[in-house]
Structure 1
Amino acid sequence: MIAEETSCTAQPAPLFFLVDPLDGTRDFLAGSEQYCVNIGLIQGDRPIAAALAAPGLGRVWAAGTTAREAPIREGRPGAFRPVSVRAAPADGLVALVSRLHGDSDTDACLDRLPIAERRVTSSALKFCLIAAGEADLYVRCVPTMEWDTAAGDHVLTMAGGRVVGPDGATITYGHHARFYRNGPFAALASAAYRDALTLPQQSAVSYFDRRRAGAAVEAAGQD
Structure 2
Amino acid sequence: MSDFIDLMNEAAIEAAAAIREVYERGTVAIEKPDGSPVTEADQRAEAIILAFLEASGLPVLAEESVAAGRIPELGERYFVVDPLDGTKEFLRRNGEFTVNIAYCEGGHPVSGVVLAPATEEIYWGGPRGAFTGKVIDGQIGAISALAVSRTEHPLRIVASRSHGHAALAELCDTLDVAEDVSVGSSLKFCLLAKGEAQLYPRFTPTSEWDTAAGQAVLQAAGGVVWGMDGKPLTCGHRDRSFLNEWFVAAAGEDLARRALAEMLRHA
Q: TM-score range by the shorter chain?
A: 0.7 to 0.9
Q: Helix, strand or coil for the counterpart of 2:134?
A: strand
Q: 1:174 Cα deviation (Å)?
A: 1.0
The one-letter code of the counterpart of 1:2 is: L
Structural RMSD (CA)? 2.2
Q: 1:202 Cα deviation (Å)?
A: 9.7
- Structure 2 regions of 5+ residues with no counterpart? 1-59
Please tell me whether residue 199 in structure 1 is matched to residue 258 in structure 2: no
Q: 1:200 Cα deviation (Å)?
A: 4.2
Contact 1:39–1:51, Cα closer than 8 Å, also in 2: yes
Please tell me whether residue 4 in structure 1 is matched to residue 66 in structure 2: no
Contact 1:137–1:187, Cα closer than 8 Å, also in 2: yes
Q: 1:32 aligns with which of 94, 97, 119?
A: 94
Please tell me whether residue 189 in structure 1 is matched to residue 251 in structure 2: yes
Please tell me whether residue 129 in structure 1 is matched to residue 191 in structure 2: yes
Instruction: Identify the structure with bigger relative contact order (alpha carbons < 8 Å, sequence gap 6+).
Output: 1
Please tell me whether residue 116 in structure 1 is matched to residue 175 in structure 2: no
TM-score scaled by structure 2?
Answer: 0.70
State the match for 2:168 in structure 1: 106
| Greater alpha carbon shift after TM alignment, 26-35 vs 109-118 | 109-118
Q: Helix, strand or coil for the counterpart of 2:118?
A: coil
Q: 1:201 Cα deviation (Å)?
A: 9.1
Q: 1:102 Cα deviation (Å)?
A: 1.9
Q: Helix, strand or coil for the counterpart of 1:111?
A: helix
State the match for 1:209 in structure 2: none
- Structure 1 regions of 5+ residues with no counterpart? 204-223
Q: How does 1:52-63 map to 2 (within 5 A)?
A: 52-63=114-125
Indicate how the Cα distance of structure 1 residues 99 and 3 shifts in structure 2: closer, same or farther if over 3 A, else same: farther
Q: 1:98 Cα deviation (Å)?
A: 5.7
Q: Deviations over 1:48-93 (max 9, x none)?
A: 1211101212310111211111112234321422110012242x21
Q: Helix, strand or coil for the counterpart of 1:156?
A: helix
Please tell me whether residue 97 in structure 1 is matched to residue 159 in structure 2: yes
| Greater alpha carbon shift after TM alignment, 135-144 vs 3-12 | 3-12
Please tell me whether residue 42 in structure 1 is matched to residue 101 in structure 2: no
Greater Rg over alpha carbons, structure: 2
Indicate how the Cα distance of structure 1 residues 26 and 32 shifts in structure 2: closer, same or farther if over 3 A, else same: same
Structure showing the higher helix proportion among its residues: 2
Indicate how the Cα distance of structure 1 residues 108 and 13 shifts in structure 2: closer, same or farther if over 3 A, else same: farther
Q: 1:43 Cα deviation (Å)?
A: 0.7
Q: 1:169 Cα deviation (Å)?
A: 1.6
| Greater alpha carbon shift after TM alignment, 98-107 vs 79-88 | 98-107
Q: 1:104 Cα deviation (Å)?
A: 1.2
